[in-house]
Chains A and B, each alone.
Chain A
């Protein structure tokens, strides 16, 4: 059960990320309920306070909101918010490391761009 969480990143961040992933994938649609802190706690064998922290991150970003007495729900426009958040983090999380890795491999900017274009070309069905 715990195997779904890695042990190298703070757990509450992983919880937040997993919920975001699921929202993007359409597992939880707007105005649908997401798992409660107790359910998450039970599922991943983690302290409910940790699960709550992860959920609160998303509440702070406006991705989830609380319906008192019922639980946590995906906000209207929540999917878009996740996408925006990910886009903002995309540069730092993917682009930057890619450029640094390229640099340490000794690739020029042009070689890098060629690789990227090729990959895009392969990825799209023609």
Chain B
């Protein structure tokens, strides 16, 4: 565990800081540009889309976990098994950070008594009733990111393609999450929505982990 943290720390702290700073800057700019008063604009979009942007960060970080970091560790004599578990630890840490930052978001308008609007309601739902889906989504995106990194090693084009695909899924996921709360799926679908999404995300996560395990076990430093 200690080795793990030591190894990843120089990546972890700048990455997490970047996310925190990014969120802080977006909040600041939103406040400054009049979003609390109900002003719509660029920074309003950024603010309300924050959960999505966090997923983007996580995806990127995960790619580097299965590319540069993996290469370095194995070339220094680490076993792939050890690396896999270290990587798992990092995935959990990143997911928790992403979740934490997302939970933080709606607190700000609530504390600051911002003018309520539709988007704010959506944001509240992401963190509210369907809140548990978000960390699952984080984990799923992280696992897909890891796989994409390994894919990129073989074919950069394919890797980038998958990246866009994952981004798309992420966008759809968050949108669906939000829309579900507005009652769009009220045709008897809503009660099933939560369990279905959970199952899908879990399936993606578990299948992804299995592939990740297999791929890392066969990883080669030529």
Please determine if A and B sit in direct contact within the complex, based on CB atoms under 8 angstroms apart: no
